[in-house]
């Protein structure tokens, strides 16, 4: 696509964003088809859209995967990038996985696939044993404060 085509596409896309909610809402396969001219891929479970994000939830062979991209196009005609950790956490929660741990993978260099400004979260069915847990951190901080108080009282 040439520069003029990308600008036209971006302008057309940007003009439709106001119709979406600030929060993610599910869209049906029919709505998706009307917007894109495509049907859901076979392993798509659900699709969500907001003014800010386009999200697809897939059933992969071992677990579910959340694919996230901004709902804005750059001047080059690609999805805008720079999705923050807080935004990914909010997206994960909005699409129904607030009680699940998710993993984002940074593969070995030989396995990199970077063809789009899209982020992927793999949804874990069981809590990760190595993840930090708020209750454990608060408990450790409390114990450290108690130990500090004891040491200052002993001196």
Per-residue tens of pLDDT for the chain, all 155 residues: 566 665 665 666 566 777 788 999 999 999 888 877 889 999 999 999 999 999 999 999 999 999 999 987 777 767 767 899 999 999 999 999 999 999 999 999 999 988 778 899 999 999 999 888 887 777 777 778 877 777 777 76
Two tokens, residue 96: 């129904």
Confirm whether 116 is domain-assigned: yes
Confirm whether 143 is domain-assigned: no
Domain count, the chain: 1
- Domain with 28, as residue range(s), is 3-129
Rounded CA-CA distance 44/67 in Å is 10
Count CB-CB contacts under 10 A for residue 24.
24
pTM for this prediction: 0.77
């Amino acid at each position: 696509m040439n520069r003029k085509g990308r600008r036209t596409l971006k302008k057309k896309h940007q003009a439709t964003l106001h119709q979406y909610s600030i929060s993610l809402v599910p869209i049906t396969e029919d709505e998706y088809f009307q917007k894109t001219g495509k049907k859901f891929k076979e392993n798509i479970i659900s699709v969500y859209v907001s003014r800010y994000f386009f999200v697809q939830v897939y059933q992969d062979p071992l677990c579910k995967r959340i694919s996230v991209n901004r709902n804005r196009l750059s001047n080059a005609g690609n999805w805008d990038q720079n999705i923050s950790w807080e935004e990914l956490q909010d997206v994960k929660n909005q699409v129904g996985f607030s009680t699940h741990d998710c993993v984002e993978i940074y593969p070995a260099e030989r396995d990199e696939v970077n063809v789009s400004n899209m982020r992927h979260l793999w949804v874990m069915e069981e809590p990760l044993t190595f993840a930090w847990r708020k209750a454990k951190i608060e408990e450790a901080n409390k114990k450290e404060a108690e130990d500090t108080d004891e040491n200052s009282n002993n001196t």
